[in-house]
Amino acid sequence: MSLNHHLSALRFHIQSTPATFSPRLGTVTLCRLAEDISIDLQTPGLITSTSRGVVPHLSSDHVRVSDAVRWIHVPFESFLELSPPLPTLHPGPYPSHACLGLRPNRHVLTMSLRDPADDRDMPPNGNDFVSALCLRGVRKVTPNEWRDYTLSAQPDVLVALSDVPLTSGPHSQKRITKSIERSASWLANLLRPLPGRHVSAGAASHLLNVLVHMAGGIAPKARQAFSRSLLEPLFDKEAEAIRPLNNLDQGVAGYTFDLAPLRKSLSPDAPRPAPTGGLGAGIDPFSVPPAPSVTAQIISLIRTSLEPLPATKPRVVHSAGSPHEILALIRDIGIDLFDAHWAQRAADVGVALDFVFPAPADISGPAPREIGHNFYDERYSHDFSPFADALRSCTADQLDERPPCTCMACAPSRPSEPLKHSRVDEAPPLHAPVPYTRAYVHHLLHTHEMSAHTLLALHNLAVLDTFFAGVRRVLSERPAALSQEIRQFEQTYDGKLGVLAEAKKAWTEVNLARGKGRLAREREREKQRQRQDTLGTAVELN
Amino acid sequence: MQFEVLATCHTTRARASRMKLAHGVTPLPTFMPVATQAAIKGLTPQQVEGLGVTLILNNTYHLNLRPGIKVLLEAGGAHKFQGWNHNLLTVCDSGGFQLVSLNKFTTITEEGALFSSPFTGEPTMLTPEESISIQHAIGADIIMQLDDVVSSLTVGPRVGDAMRRSIRWLDRCIAFHEKSGKSDIQNLFAIVQGGLDSVLRDECLNEMTKRHDQVAGYAIGGLSGGEEKDIFWRMIGQCTEKLPTDKPRYSMGIGFAEDLLVCVALGVDMADCVFPTRTARFGVALTFNGPLNLKLAKHAKDAKPIDSTCPCPTCSDGVSRATLHHIATHETVAAHAITLHNLAFQAQVMGQARDSIMGGTFPKYLRRFFADYFGNAGYPEWCVNALQSVGVDLLEGNPHAKVVKGDGVKWEYSDAA
């Protein structure tokens, strides 16, 4: 057990004193007490998602220069393949930062056991373990193991184990009761004081920044019961264990909500792709975009959870599915942080996001417009404009009033100093940066070049970051106009996200066609398509 | 092109030079990373530039198929299309083995290469004139003649025919290129053919060196296709011995560090290969002590970077071998991170060659490099022989060093833990 735990305190400051459910402007500050470093992040804002511990498609040098990537969420489960797990191996301070190429003075790192976006069917959890998934199969992780892992891995913020039933539903009342009891008791276990550390009066009673996932599934009563259990004073042995805390909520730095399992329970009939690896697949968010009715139900469930709790702690949502859903969650609840999972997934399938908040007033072309471009589409093959219309690239006129896109694709910056390998190397001539074009990415996608996804991931994260900055500006300058601006946004941009479904299909086609003989296969498919067109039928390729 | 030899090794035939092209200066000898389809796989041009790379390759055949010449012309050339502001070389359609390996229906006629179009299936003729015209549209700083390349394992009259046809095609390429008015910006290289037959190679060298004033440089083609290493180096040596010293020499398809340094010692200035970038995608990192196969379990708990002295972003950010093991072949990031490292490694191998040639210590550098790289596994015999032919004894001061037969390529196997 590591005793040189580096102290980082998570603070949250809300400007103005809002009601329990109103949009709010805030600042999350992570103070690294030993180094006198503090990282300020404005909310509402974004959290970057990772896969196997890394931001998909972004090598460490790209993560470092990306302004949008400041708060990173790392699911721990992939590391269970190795014992002891990778983030616990690195020597020195901030082992998780070190092993993932992140910088303690720039990046806030949150860790949860499971990937919050993964809603695939799983074997059941037990009274004393959560079933987690890694490449080598399902692993049982006990609350004690989770505590030990996180004490060694030292993420800045960690999510307590939560019993989210991912067996195929519906879930009985007994199962839901178990779920909230286990989640509360696992949280209590995590909040025990650190070993070898005296708790002096007045000092922080526990040294971990713990987020709690709000349990109870889609049963409002259960959600309510769970929230209340956080506030109940504890007695006897239970109280002794978490001393000097009086109740669990005192040890909690914020609340998280995983929408993927909620959506799965709320839409039992949603189509799911074929199971892979023996597990039932989750809902594909691109073929089933977040329906406003489902979002409304989710909002009501989240409000039930938050109702009794203090409004002063940050609220985190994982796997919101669209900017529309994000706006609704900000407006109707006052959610502070959202992961960028859907925007990063859009980069995976070749979509460059193109939207701003507030939506531009002068709309040309048919409304509502798509929230992005499917660069697989032939229409981009000769399009040499920058990725986005709603944002300006680095070569745009300075009088251009569109917000700038500062991503490495729209405003590529030269490497500060290219490496030199010999005394006769000469510094390369200077060139003004030129944004990457749609035609280039179209080409990269069709030739299955990975760089396409790097550029798109950098871009999409920046677009989402700029979107949140726009939300914050409205909240700060004219808060009363937020609802009107959201309505305007909903009218301007299509919430059905057709572009994502279309791109996913194109991505699948290119992926299936690749390899030797690919051009011949494409030719054959083109012929088939023509034949089908004449018959007036079209077969969906998935 | 301005080409200036800055220094010549006192012992070997190695030289350090300065090659100035329309998009800047590239110091030689150099290794050229391959961006077959207008992208170094996984990297952005800014990342490649940051590694100190000033010259990359595109493939004419691939760019002609995708995105197509029309798109490239609209973009204003391949440099602008891919956002690469530095020097660019296009290997021609049949350069290396594209026509050999990609299309089994290719037939070579005197007119050009006849193949079935991958789009329509129609028979399509690619003539030397057309190949140059396409490369003009691409706009690369260095362009390659269309040659008739046969696999280096081919024997019989076909090898001589192909060599002689390559000479005739060179003349047609030169004529077309000179007429185009682009010869002051784009530089045409001839490709020496002749298979593994030293008589044919000589014939080709004699003819092509006669065109000295009409070409900007010479490539050595038709090698690196599975022939024995002992023949390979002799062919390279035969070519560099006869090629004029005032033009750059480019050995096509060479990428292993030991091959590069042997070629440099024999007088080669430029080389390209997909090896460092391709092997990166399978999780293999190149180091001065030999390749590391990061997929192997022995790296799973290693918190060290690939090479703590390496200046690449992956190593200087401290990304550990264990982390790379965790993501290699699962996440594209692993390919990006190891590709960055491997290209920096290739650039360092060649940069140190330049420095030591300039400083008059190239033979010493060779001995040190081979001792670090092969010291425990054994020196490949062909490297020992090749370097001996230019006056460097790798075994100097170490007469009992292990020498291994065969190609001697170093690889990290799972049982080597």
Q: What pLDDT, on the 0 to 100 scale, is given for residue A200?
A: 44
- When pLDDT is averaged across residues A97-118 and rounded to a whole number, the result is 94
Of A79, A86, A381, the CB nearest to B71: A381
Q: What pLDDT, on the 0 to 100 scale, is given for residue B125?
A: 81
Residue at A75: amino acid letter = P
Name the CATH superfamily for A44-268+281-348: Queuine tRNA-ribosyltransferase-like (3.20.20.105)
CB A214 within 8 A of CB A229: no
Of A424, A440, A449, the CB nearest to B18: A424
Q: Which of A60, A109, A416 to mutate to test the interface with B (most CBs of B within 10 A)?
A: A60
Q: Which residues contact B130 (CB under 8 A, 6 or more apart)?
A: B112
Same domain, B264 and B292: no
Question: Domain boundary residue among B243, B275, B307?
Answer: B275
Range of the domain at B239: 2-275
Task: Record the tokens describing residue A282, joined without a space.
Answer: 């989750």
Question: Domain boundary residue among B275, B295, B314?
Answer: B275
This prediction has a pTM of 0.94
Same domain, B232 and B314: no
Closest CA to A493 of A347, A348, A372: A372
Q: Which of B56, B317, B343 to mutate to test the interface with A (most CBs of A within 10 A)?
A: B317
CB B245 within 8 A of CB B205: no
Q: Which residues in chain B touch residue A57, judged by CB atoms under 8 angstroms apart?
A: 332-333, 336
Q: What pLDDT, on the 0 to 100 scale, is given for residue B407?
A: 86
Of A52, A439, A446, the CB nearest to B327: A52
Across the strands, what pairs with A352?
A: A373
Question: In Å, how far are A26, B59, B128, B176 from B187, measured between CA atoms?
Answer: 60, 16, 15, 13
Name the stretches of chain B with pLDDT < 50.
95-101, 417
- When pLDDT is averaged across residues A52-77 and rounded to a whole number, the result is 96
Q: How many beta carbons lie within 10 A of that of residue A187, not counting itself?
A: 25
Give the tens place of pLDDT for each residue, A365-415.
777 899 999 999 999 999 999 999 999 999 988 888 999 999 999 999 877
- When pLDDT is averaged across residues A150-168 and rounded to a whole number, the result is 93
Chain B CA closest to residue A78: B326
Question: Domain boundary residue among B275, B307, B325?
Answer: B275
Q: How far apart are CA B129 and CA B125, in angstroms?
A: 11
Give the tens place of pLDDT for each residue, B283-322.
999 999 999 999 999 999 999 999 999 999 999 999 999 9
Same domain, B269 and B290: no
Give the tens place of pLDDT for each residue, B33-83.
999 999 999 999 999 999 999 999 999 888 988 899 999 999 999 999 999
Same domain, B214 and B251: yes
Helix H, strand E, coil C: the string for chain B is CEEEEEEECCCCCCEEEEEEECCEEEEECEEECECCCCCCCCCCHHHHHHCCCCEEEEEHHHHHHCCCHHHHHHHCCHHHHHCCCCEEEEECCCCCCHHHHHCCCCEECCCCEEEECCCCCCEEEECHHHHHHHHHHHCCCEEECCCCCCCCCCCCHHHHHHHHHHHHHHHHHHHHHHHHCCCCCCEEEEEECCCCCHHHHHHHHHHHHHCHHHCCEEEECCCCCCCCHHHHHHHHHHHHHHCCCCCCEEECCCCCHHHHHHHHHCCCCEEECCHHHHHHHCCEECCCCCCEECCCHHHCCCCCECCCCCCCHHHHCCCEHHHHHHHCCCCHHHHHHHHHHHHHHHHHHHHHHHHHHHHCCHHHHHHHHHHHHHCCCCEEHHHHHHHHHCCCCCCCCCCCCCEECCCCCCCCCHHHC
Q: Do A101 and B318 make contact, defined as CB atoms within 8 angstroms?
A: yes
Domain ranges of chain A: 44-268+281-348, 352-412+433-514
Q: Which residues in chain B touch residue A418, judged by CB atoms under 8 angstroms apart?
A: 49-52
Q: Do A61 and B81 make contact, defined as CB atoms within 8 angstroms?
A: no
B184 in active site: no
Q: Do B82 and A419 make contact, defined as CB atoms within 8 angstroms?
A: no
Provide the domain count of chain B. Answer: 2
| More confidently predicted of B190 and A36 | B190
pLDDT bracket for residue A289 (50, 70, 90): confident
CATH number of the structural domain spanning residue B209: 3.20.20.105
Same domain, B253 and B328: no
Q: Do B50 and A419 make contact, defined as CB atoms within 8 angstroms?
A: yes
Same domain, B12 and B85: yes
Q: How far apart are CA A499 and CA A505, in angstroms?
A: 10
Instruction: Cite the beta strand spans of A50-161 per DSSP E.
Output: 71-75, 108-112, 130-134, 137-141, 157-159
Q: Which of B259, B272, B307, B407 is catalytic?
A: B272
Same domain, B57 and B205: yes
